[in-house]
């Protein structure tokens, strides 16, 4: 069945997910703060709109994929601009950005108050998985609402996991990113320990990579370090943002000690200007 989809945010992830929607024959209305980022999809038939509200006008489903809480507030709720006011009752709003749990819950309440069904659908996986349609969606919200958008999400998914109520999908997403962010720093630390004893970097990577304690993600990050390849997939600026949201969601400061220590290393990397380098470039922050 052909659906009209409004899509807000043509960044690295959003443009790729929206591309799958367009490819499958749905009508796609797109908006991006920087209009030039809409050009590639416009050339393939997407309708470019001047505001999130216009992208949402006449759409059955509106999906947002933007940087952070502030951007999400803008695209959904800014007066005379945001998408929620323009959606018809019974429409479905899907927030796919990685946001704080608190904001996500607030947004779900606001949507409900306006008669709009809301689903949080953050994704695990990065640009290659988005390109290949192999993301994992971590869903918070009603199962009946998920049912209605399931086919659309499947276009870019290797898995769709219904975690539970609003906030729980986002909590799962932040948990995944916390595990990745802490591993990157732990990995950098142990590689420095080994280098300090004169063990060559490539030998360390080879042996650690053969150990069952080393995750697939750590292996990929070690390969990036060995090659000194730092082009962004999951850039440091986004990791630092997500760690802030993880810490906001912790029950108390004692529970968040590992994430808090990790966050300081990413903050240092940000201050050095490495925000647009890939996650494992955080290793440089230990040397500097």
Ligand X SMILES: NC(=O)c1ccc[n+]([C@@H]2O[C@H](COP(=O)([O-])OP(=O)(O)OC[C@H]3O[C@@H](n4cnc5c(N)ncnc54)[C@H](OP(=O)(O)O)[C@@H]3O)[C@@H](O)[C@H]2O)c1
Contact residues for ligand X, defined by CB under 6 A: 9-14, 32-34, 37, 65-67, 70-71, 74-75, 97-98, 123, 126-127, 233-234, 238
Q: Which is nearer to ligand X, 97 or 204 (CB)?
A: 97
Rounded-to-integer distance, Cα 135 and Cα 128, Å:
9
Q: Which is nearer to ligand X, 105 or 194 (CB)?
A: 105
Query: Which pair of structure tokens corresponds to residue 171?
Result: 């909590």
Contact 276, 231 (CB under 8 A): no
Q: Which is nearer to ligand X, 204 or 282 (CB)?
A: 282
Which residue is at the shortest CB distance from ligand X?
11
Q: Which is nearer to ligand X, 55 or 191 (CB)?
A: 55
Least spacing, CB of residue 234 vs ligand X, in Å: 4
The owner of tokens 């802490």 is 182
Rounded-to-integer distance, Cα 87 and Cα 114, Å:
9
Helix H or strand E encompassing 123 = strand 123-124
For residue 59, what are the contacts with CB-CB under 8 A and spacing of at least 6?
Answer: 4, 5, 6, 29, 87, 91
Cα maximum dimension of the chain: 65
Q: Which is nearer to ligand X, 279 or 285 (CB)?
A: 279
Q: Is 279 helix (H, G, I), strand (E, B) or coil?
A: helix
Query: Which pair of structure tokens corresponds to residue 145?
Result: 């609402």
Least spacing, CB of residue 90 vs ligand X, in Å: 26
């Amino acid at each position: 069945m052909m659906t009209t989809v409004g899509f807000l945010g043509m960044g690295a992830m959003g443009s790729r997910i929206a591309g799958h929607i367009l490819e499958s024959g749905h009508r796609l209305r797109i908006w991006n703060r920087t209009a030039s980022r809409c050009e590639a999809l416009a050339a393939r038939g997407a309708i470019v709109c001047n505001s999130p509200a216009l992208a949402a006008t006449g759409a059955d489903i509106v999906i947002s994929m933007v940087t952070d809480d502030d951007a999400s507030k803008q695209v959904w709720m800014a007066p005379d601009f945001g998408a929620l006011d323009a959606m018809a009752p019974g429409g479905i709003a899907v927030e796919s950005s990685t946001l704080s749990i608190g904001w996500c819950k607030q947004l779900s309440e606001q949507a409900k108050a306006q008669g709009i069904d809301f689903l949080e659908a953050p994704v695990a996986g990065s640009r290659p998985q988005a390109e290949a349609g192999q993301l994992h969606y971590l869903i918070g919200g009603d199962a009946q609402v998920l049912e209605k958008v399931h086919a659309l999400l499947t276009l870019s998914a290797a898995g769709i996991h219904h975690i539970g109520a609003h906030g729980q999908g986002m909590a799962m997403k932040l948990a995944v990113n916390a595990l990745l962010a802490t591993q990157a720093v732990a990995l950098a630390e142990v590689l420095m320990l080994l280098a300090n004893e004169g063990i060559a970097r490539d030998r360390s990577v080879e042996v650690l990579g053969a150990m069952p304690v080393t995750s697939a993600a750590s292996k990929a990050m070690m390969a990036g370090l060995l090659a000194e390849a730092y082009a962004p997939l999951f850039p440091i600026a986004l990791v630092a943002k997500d760690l802030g949201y993880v810490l906001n969601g912790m029950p108390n400061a004692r529970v968040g000690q590992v994430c808090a220590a990790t966050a300081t290393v990413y903050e240092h990397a940000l201050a050095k200007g490495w925000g647009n380098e890939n996650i494992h470039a955080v290793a440089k922050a230990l040397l500097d």
